[in-house]
Amino acid sequence: MRETTVIRLKDDIQLNDPILLVGLPGVGHVGKLVVDHLIEKLEAEKVFEIYSPHFPPQVMVSEESTVKLVNNEVHICKTDERDLVLLGGDHQSTTTDGHYELGGIYIELAAELGVSKIYTLGGYPTGKLEHTDEVMGAANDTELIEELKELGVTFKPNEPGGGIVGASGLLLGLSKFKDIKAACLMGLTSGYLVDPKSAQSLLAILSKLLNIEVEVSELEERAKDMEKIVANLIEAKQQQQGVLRDTAVEEDLRYIG
Amino acid sequence: MRETTVIRLKDDIQLNDPILLVGLPGVGHVGKLVVDHLIEKLEAEKVFEIYSPHFPPQVMVSEESTVKLVNNEVHICKTDERDLVLLGGDHQSTTTDGHYELGGIYIELAAELGVSKIYTLGGYPTGKLEHTDEVMGAANDTELIEELKELGVTFKPNEPGGGIVGASGLLLGLSKFKDIKAACLMGLTSGYLVDPKSAQSLLAILSKLLNIEVEVSELEERAKDMEKIVANLIEAKQQQQGVLRDTAVEEDLRYIG
Amino acid sequence: MRETTVIRLKDDIQLNDPILLVGLPGVGHVGKLVVDHLIEKLEAEKVFEIYSPHFPPQVMVSEESTVKLVNNEVHICKTDERDLVLLGGDHQSTTTDGHYELGGIYIELAAELGVSKIYTLGGYPTGKLEHTDEVMGAANDTELIEELKELGVTFKPNEPGGGIVGASGLLLGLSKFKDIKAACLMGLTSGYLVDPKSAQSLLAILSKLLNIEVEVSELEERAKDMEKIVANLIEAKQQQQGVLRDTAVEEDLRYIG
Amino acid sequence: MRETTVIRLKDDIQLNDPILLVGLPGVGHVGKLVVDHLIEKLEAEKVFEIYSPHFPPQVMVSEESTVKLVNNEVHICKTDERDLVLLGGDHQSTTTDGHYELGGIYIELAAELGVSKIYTLGGYPTGKLEHTDEVMGAANDTELIEELKELGVTFKPNEPGGGIVGASGLLLGLSKFKDIKAACLMGLTSGYLVDPKSAQSLLAILSKLLNIEVEVSELEERAKDMEKIVANLIEAKQQQQGVLRDTAVEEDLRYIG
């Protein structure tokens, strides 16, 4: 597979005033928790699968031991007021130019689907374990900022300091080129674990914003499952500390000549 | 060499119900041990050499001090029930997109050769030195899982946690797109050394699966040879700790401006 | 966005004997301080925005919480003797080939604008906190070296040792191919912090060189603002020490096979 | 500069039974010392300059403070028995695929110049400071091995363990595809410093091999100059330990989302 590959699972997608929500892995997996939860609760239908040489060369293993190549996925679903487009997945790009390439593809898909607003969802790391319901925001449009302020989203000058890195930030920048309003909503979270409470705060804002009602009881369990995957990865990593290195050329191996 | 280069050593390859076995370097070099051993014991014939800018810029040195550019190789051989295609080599890709590119090339080769099933072989790191004969599996097809269970392969829900990384995992994902059934068989191994016992457990399963008989006495010696190469690499690396760095631009050297 | 994208904000740019000043982030942010300061004080007009997959996938957040995709920018302005072209921005390339690609684009822009001389501005790290007004230089033309010596710029044989890395160096090398004279001016700085005093020394040289007068009182405040951004980044980084790693494939995770 | 660029400085190059010697930076800079020394002593003429986005974005600064973009260079010169082609330079590729690309270009240049043999020169790191005159070898041709054995070059089975990494190894592998015989000659060296004694041992072998006489007294001084450049780089690196990081996105900064 030499190129990013978008697999279209449904032709002729007609949407009613769609809004795109983006929840990819990140701090606290907050955004991912929210989007995966909505996909299930709103019974969203998968319409695109995105595979890419910028994702790690990896398959995830299911409960039945079947494998799935890491990917991103786009689902759609109806709500009372409008249709939602939900972008989620296993991984962000492992390369810088991959981020830009995938980001460009996602904004084009959004434009093609007639999306009028994009909300990228993430976690803002506080380093503290005490939970707060606060959701912080940044956006590419001042009107959108005012609307979100009224819903209780916090905006602080120059925050996050150092900017927003990764898809949630990049999509805000790229969507500006297509005149699509976009905001990043970040649930405050310690950053030490997958955080269902932070996801719940984010969902509370989204419920008001999109006029939807979503049951949140399973968020906790979903977070625990995600936590296991992450823990497995950390454990596997620790085991690998003493693992046999293959005949890889380590970066600091100096050349004979 | 700007592109991955596949050198065909034999035209007109006709195979009888071929199955592809993949054993590239990895944890415990278990898969590599098995495939290199089968190539020798079944007197397999080399049909493809694959060179790539994604492999390290490196030559291996033989006993006679002649050199060979690192590569992957495809061999074929006959057994009573069917023909086998054996993919092995010196190294996996050093880059993420290289993995996908090479993986795509290998799946295409498999399809071209009429391969109906793929078994990728590897090691599952336990971190413990005590040997167990257990072979764990994952697959892209539920029927295949049932067949392998009957042969004694273990399948645990969501295991390996964190998925399968590298060629053995990626090929399972990519082969799904070509409707080729594929499974990964992992011999449990400490992860600390090249493990001939784990390779032997894997071979035991393969013998039942493919209805072949292979002598295993030389596995131990083959493992020792591989261990030397790895040890040399580690020693060279330790020596390099104090080695003169060339005029390389180190990553953390900050720009003047 | 698959390619570096240059957005032209003004057609038909006619300049009077223009000189290009380059101040991108680097040691002490000295060059960036100078160019950002000149852009404001000389009321320069933005004419190009450069976005690139070689920049980090990141947006900066303003005081009003609006976002801006990281980029480089080209401004122009008039002074008594000539027009100035000012190249600055948020970031240098994150990749080696990106440096060369962007450098090539910048030299072509310079040639297109009729630029006759290029001064790249940076900081030379001394590791000592005591300030010195010294400005060190290197150039791709011996006449230019003599001119600059007369203005008080210091030139020491083979200094900086190890050469000049990053845009300030690369642009000197690439401009030689287009027969554009270029010099790098480096204000001596500790390297530990954003240094307004070093920027002031550099501005003093530039004032003599270009025959311009620029008020420097706000340099201190500008440096403090930049220092905050950097501090935020360091703090965010420390917080991230314990942050949840996403399902990223860490570099040292060894392959199953 | 988006592509590797070869600048031809002389058309119509006719050579008499040319042999290519390659001495790029590496362990102990042994190969580089030899080739730079031969270029000067044999008054070789520069015929190609190679620039590449795979080299670091860096200029070297001369004694006169003029700058030169890092590059590789090809020189030619006459000796009694044949013409020599000398490939040297500031740096090896910083990327894996860059190594293969540059290697391919160099083998093509060699073939175009009618080169019949290639000797890549380097250092073999022993980790010990005591000097030995030993020169170790590896080659892509058994006849060449025998010839070199007679001249006193040492060949040990499977040595260097772990193979030969970088241009000296890669060129041996790639030249095999063009049926050009090639060997790597490695002067034993501690690996801790630029080693003129090791270069002298290598030159002794080359003198017998190529039937040339070269004065070696300046090797020591040349080594000291190279040592300074390396020391500067290490010192600059240490200073950078506390240097202000620019607004770079550090690898381990986790994404907000």
Question: Which CATH number is A203's domain given?
Answer: 3.40.50.10900
Token pair for B220: 């131990």
For residue A227, being part of any structural domain is answered with no
CA-based nearest residue in chain D for residue A162: D247
Token pair for A204: 């509370």
Give D246's contacts in chain C (Cβ within 8 Å).
25-26, 29, 91-92, 230
Cβ contact B105:B173 at 8 Å: no
For residue D256, being part of any structural domain is answered with no
Nearest-CA distance from A45 to chain C in Å? 24
Residue C244 and residue A145: Cβ atoms within 8 Å?
A: no
CA-based nearest residue in chain C for residue A125: C239
Give A23's contacts in chain D (Cβ within 8 Å).
257
Residue A120 and residue D257: Cβ atoms within 8 Å?
A: yes
Neighbours of D, requiring at least 3 CB pairs below 8 Å, are: A, B, C
Neighbours of A, requiring at least 3 CB pairs below 8 Å, are: B, C, D
Is a pLDDT exceeding 90 seen at residue B72? yes
Cβ contact B156:A65 at 8 Å: yes
Rounded to an integer, the average pLDDT of B106-128 is 96
Nearest-CA distance from D79 to chain A in Å? 24
* Structure-model confidence comparison of residues B128 and D186, the more confident one: D186
In chain C, which stretches have pLDDT less than 50?
Answer: 240-253
Residue B69 and residue D176: Cβ atoms within 8 Å?
A: yes
Residue C158 and residue D58: Cβ atoms within 8 Å?
A: no
Give B53's contacts in chain D (Cβ within 8 Å).
96-97, 99-101
Mean pLDDT, chain D, rounded, equals 90
Nearest-CA distance from A77 to chain D in Å? 22
Give D247's contacts in chain A (Cβ within 8 Å).
162-163
Q: What is the 3-state secondary structure (H, E, C) of B199-212?
A: HHHHHHHHHHHHCC
Task: Give the number of A-D residue pairs with CB atoms closer than 8 Å.
Answer: 99
For residue D254, being part of any structural domain is answered with no
Residue in A30, A96, A234 to test binding to C, most C beta-carbons within 10 Å: A96
Give the sheet arrangement for strand B5-8, strand by strand. Answer: B5-8, B45-51, B72-78, B83-89, B19-23, B117-125, B181-189, B135-139
In chain A, which stretches have pLDDT less than 70?
Answer: 233-254, 257
CA-based nearest residue in chain D for residue C195: D244
The predicted pLDDT at position C225 comes to 85
Token pair for A172: 């805000």
Is a pLDDT exceeding 70 seen at residue B57? yes
For residue C179, being part of any structural domain is answered with yes
Query: Shortest CB distance from C67 goes to which of A101, A138, A236?
Result: A138
Residue B255 and residue C184: Cβ atoms within 8 Å?
A: no
* Structure-model confidence comparison of residues C219 and D16, the more confident one: D16
For residues C165 and A8, give the distance between their C-alpha atoms in angstroms, rounded to a whole number: 45
The ipTM assigned to this model is: 0.90
Tell me the pLDDT band of B249, cut-offs 50, 70 and 90.
Answer: very low
| Interval C36-61: pLDDT, tens | 999 999 999 999 999 999 999 999 99
| Interval C87-118: pLDDT, tens | 999 999 999 999 999 999 999 999 999 999 99
Residue in B2, B107, B170, B186 to test binding to A, most A beta-carbons within 10 Å: B170
For residues A60 and B28, give the distance between their C-alpha atoms in angstroms, rounded to a whole number: 21
First to last CA, chain A: 34
Give B31's contacts in chain C (Cβ within 8 Å).
257
| Interval D64-90: pLDDT, tens | 999 999 999 999 999 999 999 999 999
Number of domains in chain A: 1
The predicted pLDDT at position B224 comes to 86
For residue D250, being part of any structural domain is answered with no
Residue D138 and residue B95: Cβ atoms within 8 Å?
A: no
Cis-peptide, bond into residue C160, ω within 30° of zero? yes
For residue C252, being part of any structural domain is answered with no
Burial B13-50 (b: 16+ CB within 10 A, else e): bebeebbbbbbbbbbbbbbbbbbbbbbebbebeebbbb
For residue B225, being part of any structural domain is answered with no
- Contacts of residue D178, Cβ cutoff 8 Å, sequence gap at least 6: D107, D108, D110, D111
Give A32's contacts in chain D (Cβ within 8 Å).
257
Domain region containing B60: 5-215
Neighbours of C, requiring at least 3 CB pairs below 8 Å, are: A, B, D
Nearest-CA distance from C252 to chain A in Å? 8
Residue B125 and residue A1: Cβ atoms within 8 Å?
A: no
Residue D247 and residue C234: Cβ atoms within 8 Å?
A: no
Give B164's contacts in chain A (Cβ within 8 Å).
58-59, 61, 67
Phi, psi angle pair for D139, to nearest 5°: -155, 165
Tell me the pLDDT band of B250, cut-offs 50, 70 and 90.
Answer: very low
Residue B257 and residue C191: Cβ atoms within 8 Å?
A: no
CA-based nearest residue in chain D for residue C155: D65
Token pair for C33: 């301080």
Give A243's contacts in chain B (Cβ within 8 Å).
27, 125, 191-192
For residue A90, being part of any structural domain is answered with yes
Task: Give the number of A-B residue pairs with CB atoms closer than 8 Å.
Answer: 167
Rounded to 10°, the helix B167-177/B96-112 angle is 50
Give B168's contacts in chain C (Cβ within 8 Å).
255-257
